[in-house]
Structure 1
Amino acid sequence: MDEALLRGLTPGVLGVLVRRGADFAAAEDAVQDALVEALRVWPDDPPRDPRGWLVTVAWRKFLDASRADTARRRREDRVEEEPAPGPVAEVDDTLRLYFLCAHPALSPAAAVALTLRAVGGLTTRQIAGAYLVPEATMAQRISRAKRTVSGVRLDRPGDVATVLRVLYLVFNEGYSGDVDLAAEAIRLTRQLAARVDHPEVAGLLALMLLHHARRAARTTPDGALVPLAEQDRSRWDTAVIAEGVAVLQAALVRDRLGEFQAQAAVAALHADAPTAGETDWVQIVEWYDELLRLTDSPVVGLNRAVAVGEADGPRAGLAALADVDPAVPRRTAAAAYLHERAGDRATAARLYAEAARAASNLAERDHLTRQAARLNTVPGGDG
């Protein structure tokens, strides 16, 4: 059974049902039922037209559910009778579903879950496993999200920026359970890039590719974090880096700079350096200046301060860091790093320990704890 084929067909099938009169929630339930049926039937009896088969079965499931629910009797009167089996007109509804799943009425977590279900074709179990929550919890989250967007008419252009932020949230979840969300985010962003001619869509795809190319070197076999400067660059995927750079260059020449393109440019400069010592930090600072102009983000300010510390020395980096809100995540860890670079190991050790206590995940906490312990065991660490 080709699960990738099923996942690729899901948004188109869902779109057909919605265009025929089904509301989003009921249509999505029917499509999921059809996918379950496909997993049962197709191994022994594969259809000649997989998409047409799914549409036919999903529509039947929808009509059956409508007729069984007396509270939906009025809607049943409005829907078409079951069409005869046969080829289904090729209308691409994927983009419409992207915008629907990124509806502003949804919380970021709900938008991500709904995107993975409706556009990505993942099951509730798979999404729950990726987020390490009970399947029932995720089912409730998705159900509430579907109710929120049911009946919403997309009669005006959707907000591409909101869709991109949802996909970026998916990518940043990385990998857990049996679903690789980073790879899934790349797949979905490729899909979006094929439908939307927008440089920021390309910028996000480039950013994902350039980060993903370093994945194999990012942790040790036992799961410990490896800082960028210490990674084995021979383990970086050069083919993925080359693709990411090419996608980025094609976006930048359009001269419509956005934050994802600028972030990708920083990632490309890291990827281009044969060693950490050869990184072009001056250019990276310049790109962070562009990002601050575009976003005024405190996280960008934090990253810029670290880059300034590399380009102009740790004291300059600490001066830049002073302008960053102390509440920004990882600010304390950045301060520890810059103090260590400046030779103040005692302060650095204290700050590493403080950052470890505030770390949001176990791998990061362990890494920062080891940094503090390393400095505390260095002879003369009190000076």
Structure 2
Amino acid sequence: MTPSMDEAALRSLTPSVLAVLVRRGADFAAAEDAVQDALVEAVRVWPARPPRDAKGWLITVAWRKFLDATRADAARRRREDLVDREPVPGPAPAADDTLQLYFLCAHPSLTPSSAVALTLRAVGGLTTRQIAQAYLVPEATMAQRISRAKRAVSDVRFDRPGDVATVLRVLYLVFNEGYSGDVDLAAEAIRLTRRLAAAIDHPEVAGLLALMLLHHARRATRTAPDGSLVPLAEQDRGRWDTELIAEGVGILQAALARDRLGEFQAQAAIAALHADAPTAGETDWVQIVEWYDELVRLTDSPVVRLNRAVAVGEADGPRAGLAALAALDDSLPRHTAVAAHLHERDGDLATAARLYAEAAHKAPDLAERDYLTRRAARLNARRCR
């Protein structure tokens, strides 16, 4: 492999090469296999004979690999018309079909987990092993998931626009997985969203990118050295990444100026208000409530209403927050933890401690369970003084 064509550069070419093969008529699974074979060939050949047009070389070799496999499989004689129209090798086409590949990997026929896995494999260029490690599942399990996803979209053609909203949800799912194994999924999601933003002029794509950058800017302060959670109000704001914040705010402002508000732009606006506050006490909670009102209008999501209750509790006092919370289903995730927080702010330490302990029992992961348990213990210690 030449120094100028490292693994990251190869990964960046993979989706556009795959998209060209699918555009030419190859089914997704066969195209993906052919591209992987071409990448192996590149690793073998390029150190001695680096190509002038790397993408064009990969397209030509991958298409030949696909045609060889097609000719060798008697059960696929229906593809012979593709063989007869084999294109003459030449420069890579100027058009980039990567955007359609995003749409294909987020096809409505796929489950969210399958769409995420296929996106990381086909658009991100990650290996099955890397994806499996990131999601803490056996490689064989992930291979089966990806194979099923490829089969599900094999007959889908690039004949109509995909759903941008579905693609954005898939990318946001990747981002929220964070970091595990040797793949930083948050950074990978940002990389893929940047590429999507370069391929499509859409304010919600910009909104999601801004949201990711603003959240990622706080990443280093979200956990203590022992791995315990650090709530937003207690984070060291001096360690937030100001360059990422500035970039995220700039992208958000440009998106909002287009006056086509969507949920990711509204979420990013809330994140920007948190990032703009020099201290937790200086947070503009009134504006945050207003943005949550917009989010409720856009999504009518119970989770958004739950987060709004927290913001109301900060803007108008804990009893106002509890009143907003009372209108929501108490089976919502984090409902009990929010109730505990609001009762604590209202001075009812006994109720808050009991609710924190109850919320700890329902917590989805160990870090959150430990945090809530410590909150309950701290309040019980204060009551016993």
TM-score (norm 2): 0.95
Looking at structure 1, the residues matched to 199 and 345 of structure 2 have their Cα atoms a distance apart, in angstroms, of 47
Q: 2:199 aligns to what SS in structure 1?
A: coil
Per the alignment, residue 154 of structure 2 pairs with 150
1:293-312 equivalent positions in 2, closer than 5 A: 293-312=297-316
1:242-281 equivalent positions in 2, closer than 5 A: 242-281=246-285
Looking at structure 2, the residues matched to 357 and 349 of structure 1 have their Cα atoms a distance apart, in angstroms, of 13
Per the alignment, residue 384 of structure 2 pairs with 380
Deviation at 1:79, TM superposition (A): 2.9
Asked if the contact 1:314–1:342 (Cα under 8 Å) also holds between the matched residues in 2, the reply is yes
Looking at structure 2, the residues matched to 29 and 327 of structure 1 have their Cα atoms a distance apart, in angstroms, of 45
Instruction: Tell me the amino acid that sits aligned with residue 163 of structure 2.
Output: D
Per the alignment, residue 31 of structure 2 pairs with 27
Deviation at 1:48, TM superposition (A): 2.6
Per-residue CA deviations over 1:105-133 (Å, capped at 9, x if unaligned) read: 11111111111111111111111111111
Per the alignment, residue 142 of structure 2 pairs with 138
* Structure 1 position 160 matched with structure 2 position 168: no
* Structure 1 position 17 matched with structure 2 position 21: yes
Per-residue CA deviations over 1:180-207 (Å, capped at 9, x if unaligned) read: 1111111111111112111111111111
Per-residue CA deviations over 1:241-272 (Å, capped at 9, x if unaligned) read: 00000000001111111111110000000000
Looking at structure 2, the residues matched to 164 and 126 of structure 1 have their Cα atoms a distance apart, in angstroms, of 22
Per the alignment, residue 282 of structure 1 pairs with 286
Bigger CA drift: 79-88 or 45-54? 79-88
Q: 1:222 aligns to what SS in structure 2?
A: coil
Instruction: Tell me the amino acid that sits aligned with residue 136 of structure 1.
Output: A
1:52-201 equivalent positions in 2, closer than 5 A: 52-80=56-84, 83-201=87-205
Deviation at 1:43, TM superposition (A): 4.4
Cα 1:355–1:13 change in 2 (3 A) is: same
Asked if the contact 1:21–1:80 (Cα under 8 Å) also holds between the matched residues in 2, the reply is no
Q: 2:125 aligns to what SS in structure 1?
A: coil
Instruction: Tell me the amino acid that sits aligned with residue 211 of structure 2.
Output: L
Per-residue CA deviations over 1:70-101 (Å, capped at 9, x if unaligned) read: 22233245334654543222220001111111
Bigger CA drift: 76-85 or 277-286? 76-85
Looking at structure 2, the residues matched to 255 and 279 of structure 1 have their Cα atoms a distance apart, in angstroms, of 25
Instruction: Tell me the amino acid that sits aligned with residue 283 of structure 1.
Output: Q
Q: 2:374 aligns to what SS in structure 1?
A: helix
Instruction: Tell me the amino acid that sits aligned with residue 230 of structure 2.
Output: V
Deviation at 1:20, TM superposition (A): 2.6
Q: 1:65 aligns to what SS in structure 2?
A: helix
Instruction: Tell me the amino acid that sits aligned with residue 5 of structure 1.
Output: A
Deviation at 1:287, TM superposition (A): 0.5
Instruction: Tell me the amino acid that sits aligned with residue 58 of structure 1.
Output: A
Deviation at 1:308, TM superposition (A): 0.7
Looking at structure 1, the residues matched to 16 and 84 of structure 2 have their Cα atoms a distance apart, in angstroms, of 19
Any stretches of 5+ residues in structure 2 without a counterpart?
Answer: none
Looking at structure 1, the residues matched to 66 and 272 of structure 2 have their Cα atoms a distance apart, in angstroms, of 48
1:208-223 equivalent positions in 2, closer than 5 A: 208-223=212-227
Instruction: Tell me the amino acid that sits aligned with residue 95 of structure 2.
Output: V
Per-residue CA deviations over 1:118-149 (Å, capped at 9, x if unaligned) read: 11111111111111111111111111111111
Looking at structure 1, the residues matched to 278 and 43 of structure 2 have their Cα atoms a distance apart, in angstroms, of 47
1:231-242 equivalent positions in 2, closer than 5 A: 231-242=235-246
Per-residue CA deviations over 1:326-350 (Å, capped at 9, x if unaligned) read: 1211111111111111111121111
Instruction: Tell me the amino acid that sits aligned with residue 102 of structure 1.
Output: A
Q: 1:377 aligns to what SS in structure 2?
A: helix
Looking at structure 2, the residues matched to 352 and 32 of structure 1 have their Cα atoms a distance apart, in angstroms, of 50
Asked if the contact 2:350–2:380 (Cα under 8 Å) also holds between the matched residues in 1, the reply is yes
Q: Percent sequence identity over matched residues?
A: 83
Cα 1:354–1:71 change in 2 (3 A) is: same
Looking at structure 2, the residues matched to 21 and 80 of structure 1 have their Cα atoms a distance apart, in angstroms, of 13
Deviation at 1:45, TM superposition (A): 4.4
Per the alignment, residue 366 of structure 1 pairs with 370
Per-residue CA deviations over 1:280-328 (Å, capped at 9, x if unaligned) read: 0011011101110111100100100001111111111111111121121
Deviation at 1:230, TM superposition (A): 0.4
Instruction: Tell me the amino acid that sits aligned with residue 303 of structure 2.
Output: V
TM-score (norm 1): 0.95
Q: What is the CA RMSD across the aligned residues, in angstroms?
A: 1.6
* Structure 1 position 328 matched with structure 2 position 332: yes
Looking at structure 1, the residues matched to 192 and 115 of structure 2 have their Cα atoms a distance apart, in angstroms, of 14
Instruction: Tell me the amino acid that sits aligned with residue 172 of structure 2.
Output: Y
Asked if the contact 1:20–1:79 (Cα under 8 Å) also holds between the matched residues in 2, the reply is no
Deviation at 1:67, TM superposition (A): 2.8
* Structure 1 position 8 matched with structure 2 position 12: yes
